[in-house]
Amino acid sequence: MSITELRPNSRTRPAAKPATKDAAEAEALRAKTATAKAAADIANQLKAAKAAAEIAAGEAHAQEIREATADKQREAARQRADAAAAREKAERSAAQWRTYAKTIAVICVVVSLPLQMMAFWSPKAWFLLAAPLVLEGLAWALLKGAEAAIDDHRPSWHYRALAGAVALFAATVNFLHGSSAFGLGTGLGGAFCSLAGPLVWDLHEHGRIRKRDGRKTRRQRRAEARQAAAETAEKLAAEQKLADDREAVEVSRSVQWPQAWERAVALAAAVGELHPSETTWKRAWDDTAGGPLGDTAESIAARVAAKAASKEAARDQTNPVERVEKPQVESQVAAPRKTGVDGRRNNGGTPPRQKPGSHPKYSPIARRAMSLAAKKQQPARTAS
């Protein structure tokens, strides 16, 4: 067919499409557009719903975070309030304790000082009335020196010891004079008051020293001692377990591989180890077995034999392809016929001239397959 035959005639015009067909196509286009729009709307609605769900989940997660943060802030505020309340209570208790100690000291001075003045009174030595004032004043002056030493972070024990000695002397005077002049009760009361005032104030200063130095209470020291004993016992138990495990491993190695263990012991002695380390054991194994750790000549031979047996057992003996193991091209040609010797080595590398029967022939099955393929291609060539 030529090009002119294919070219349409100028007088011919394409037939006009009927109106019903145009209307049907337009209706189909509108339906298709409406369907696409509906699908797009559904897809947009699904996306919006998914986005709304994600937004709601994000807002819920954010609300949980805000609530958790608020809870943490409330807990921190409560802890700060508790700490402030405890600190305020401690300060209030310390102030009250100081006030009570001063009050008791003043009352004790009021009771013990007149009794001491009566003990030292004599018409011939009226000046001895100053002795009780010296004793009480000296005791409180020494306690004030101890307070100053505590505030300056200096030793205060000698001030307190001297104040206790002065108070003990005043208590002895009050006991002897009060017992002889007014009875045993008066003597004991005067002696107690002479000691009680300085001792109460000394206890107050002792508490300040412990607070300044951060000393722990007896209960805290006992708890720490129990915890330290428990940690020590746990550490000893862990060390004992490690020692038992190491001994068990050494016994197992010495029984299972005596030659390697003897070599490991010798190497450990050479490098100064009390027990053969893992590095020493690996080296001893390599020296005696000549292979990786855990492998011997027998185990390697057994593994190789097992792999060969597994490969042989996995082979399908009924499959001729696996059994013959030759390329596919060799199955398509017949056995080559012995021909003359190729003379390319002596003729400069020029291939010999092919003659009938000089190359291998295809097998009958391959020739039949190629013949069928050629017969199928021949009608196609004829039609073209």
> Kind and range of the H or E element at 124?
none
d(C-alpha 322, C-alpha 292), whole Å:
36
The DSSP code sequence of 353-378 is PP-TTSSPPBPHHHHHHHHHHHHHHH
Q: Which two tokens stand for residue 32?
A: 């298709």
Q: Residues 163-181: pLDDT tens digits?
A: 888 888 888 888 888 888 8
Phi (first) and psi of residue 372, to 5 degrees: -65, -40
3-state secondary structure of 218: helix
Q: Which residues of 191-222 are buried (b: 16+ CB within 10 A; e: fewer)?
A: bbbbbbbbbbbbebbeebbeeeeeeeeeeeee
Question: At residue 287, does pLDDT exceed 50?
Answer: yes
CA-to-CA dists, residue 210 to 153, 213, 215, 218, angstroms = 12, 5, 5, 12
> Residue 260: CB partners within 8 Å, gap ≥ 6?
253, 281, 284, 285, 287, 288, 289
Torsion of the alpha carbons at 297, 301, 304 and 308, rounded to the nearest 10: 180
Identity of residue 286: D
The answer to whether the CB of 100 falls within 8 A of the CB of 201 is no
Q: Residues 134-159: pLDDT tens digits?
A: 887 888 788 788 778 777 878 878 88
Q: Residues 331-380: pLDDT tens digits?
A: 455 555 555 555 555 655 566 666 666 666 667 777 777 777 777 777 65
Ranges of each domain in the chain: 108-216, 243-302
* Percent of the chain clearing pLDDT 70 (strictly above): 79
Place of tokens 């007014």: 182
d(C-alpha 277, C-alpha 268), whole Å:
8
- CA angle 330–335–339, rounded 5-degree value: 125
pLDDT at 325: 47
Between 136 and 318, the higher pLDDT residue:
136
3-state secondary structure of 333: strand
pLDDT at 352: 65
Q: Which two tokens stand for residue 369?
A: 């397959």
Across residues 11-26, what is the average pLDDT?
A: 61
> Residue 180: CB partners within 8 Å, gap ≥ 6?
187
Report the predicted TM-score, pTM, of the whole model to 2 decimal places.
0.37
pLDDT at 12: 44
d(C-alpha 150, C-alpha 143), whole Å:
11
Between 106 and 210, the higher pLDDT residue:
106
Which residue, 200, 102, 208, is CA-closest to 150? 208
Q: Residues 229-257: pLDDT tens digits?
A: 889 899 999 999 998 888 898 888 888 88
pLDDT at 15: 47
pLDDT at 212: 66
Out of 60-64, 116-120, 231-235, give the one with best mean pLDDT: 231-235
Identity of residue 331: S
The answer to whether the CB of 231 falls within 8 A of the CB of 223 is no
Mean confidence (pLDDT) of the chain: 77
Question: At residue 124, does pLDDT exceed 50?
Answer: yes
Between 38 and 382, the higher pLDDT residue:
38
β partners of residue 333: 362
Distance from chain centroid for Cα 365: 72
pLDDT at 201: 78
Question: At residue 14, does pLDDT exceed 80?
Answer: no
The DSSP code sequence of 229-269 is HHHHHHHHHHHHHHHHHHHHHHHHHHHH-HHHHHHHHHHHH
Half-sphere exposure of 113 (CA within 13 A, CB side): 17
